[in-house]
Amino acid sequence: MHQSLTPIGAALILAFASAAAPHAMAAPDLKIALIAGKTGPLEAYAKETETGFMMGLEYLTGGKMEIAGRKLKIIVKDDQNKPDLGRTLLAEAYGDDKVDIAVGTTSSGSAIAMLPVAKEYKKVLIVEPAVADAITGDKWNKYIFRTARSSMQDAMAAASTLKGGSVGFLTQDYAFGRDAIKAGKEALAATSSKARVVHEEYAPVSTTDFTASTQRLFDALKDKPQPRVLQIVWAGPNPMNKIADMKPERYGIHLAPGGNILPVMKTWKNYGGTEGTIYYYYAFPKNKMNDWLVAEHQKRFKAPPDMFTAGGFAAASAVFNALSKVPNGNSDQLIAAMEGMTFDTPKGPMSFRKEDHQALQSMYHFRIKKDQKSEWDLLELVREIPTAELPLPVRNKR
């Protein structure tokens, strides 16, 4: 027989149900791991990436830090640029922390070590800011996406500025440098530049005296067809000033530095008119997202955003767009949604190429300003190099 409730009993049940309802209906947090080399020589890059990533999520979520009603929980880990530690931390993020998606890391060596972990756990990893071509080449698997530009994209941007002549390269003697020069030579061959590589110099990472390396480059270039270009590909404090002090113009040699972080480029002010290529400079892109980033970063940090700040923001946009399409975080569904996905970044739109999940993006040809009106008024735009002029080869054997 059905027994009716007393008014007190009914009230207690109603109160309990009301109190329990929000907890029963609340969706679990969306967990995102951000792995970066915050300890060691690439610390500045890692900190910029983290700043840009957090500002990107703030902007894209309107300050709510949630997607589809699910709160975002960001778990930041420092791999100290050590491949073994990077691999361990990513396994920890996927296995113990149960993250839905991961982003990282700063060092290409550590990033390459992390790729098989994503495959083992069947979870998406967005690589930012590591640039080694192998990440979307022979070391790639279907769980890997990259918002960072690749060494080959850097090289093709640089090659697009050359119209014949002779090229010498100076870089660091480790994986990044050798990868970059290999890409540089391939890019010159693949574009219509018709420039010829005449010499390559690989200096130890800790080098402070560039006299011998530079003189070998000068000797190799000085009698070769014009224009004579010495391309500098260097991570961290750049040797351009020391090379410029050796007066390459005596031999008709022009320096072509790759873009760098603002504190490094600030030291180049005596070399106004020198040209190079860069991934991002805060004053170049003209769009609403970049306007917000520049203004807000200036307000908070008394300086404009840098290269890796923009990269972190781009990774945040990829995460936001992917999880907005697949809020349950299912890896197979994420991959399907992200292949070919176009998303806005401070640089403008990027698109993940379906074949290898590399983000296709424009680059910039710059000239160092001769008349710098303020501390960070460093570069002027020669032109934006569109994606169509960067015919990136597919190298992943998919």
Give the domain ranges of the chain.
30-149+286-361, 152-278+364-389
Of the candidates 164, 153, 111, the one whose C-alpha atom is nearest the C-alpha of residue 135 is: 111
Mean pLDDT of 129-143: 96
- Residues near 245 by beta carbon (within 8 Å), at least 6 away in sequence: none
Distances (CA, A) of 15 to 4, 18, 19: 18, 5, 6
Is pLDDT above 80 for 19?
A: no
pTM: 0.89
Is pLDDT above 60 for 382?
A: yes
Of the candidates 244, 230, 174, the one whose C-alpha atom is nearest the C-alpha of residue 199 is: 230
Q: Highest mean pLDDT range out of 18-32, 202-216, 293-307?
A: 293-307
In angstroms, how far is CA 78 from the centroid of its own chain?
17
Mean pLDDT of 327-334: 96
pLDDT number for residue 192: 66
Domain 30-149+286-361 has CATH 1.20.1290.10: no
CA angle 138, 139, 145 (to 5 degrees): 110
Mean pLDDT of 65-75: 97
pLDDT number for residue 393: 93
Distances (CA, A) of 321 to 123, 182, 218, 288, 334: 17, 34, 49, 17, 10
Q: Quote the percentage of the chain above a pLDDT of 90.
A: 80
Structure confidence by residue, pLDDT tens digits, 262-312: 999 998 988 899 999 999 999 999 999 999 999 999 999 999 999 999 999
According to CATH, the superfamily of the domain at 152-278+364-389 is Response regulator (3.40.50.2300)
Q: Which residues of 70-106 are buried (b: 16+ CB within 10 A; e: fewer)?
A: bebebebbbbbbbbebbbbbbebbbeebebbbbbbbb
Structure confidence by residue, pLDDT tens digits, 72-110: 999 999 999 999 999 999 999 999 999 999 999 999 999
CA distance 65 to 30: 10
Residue in the structure block whose two tokens are 């027994």: 3
- Chain mean pLDDT for the chain: 91
Is pLDDT above 80 for 21?
A: no
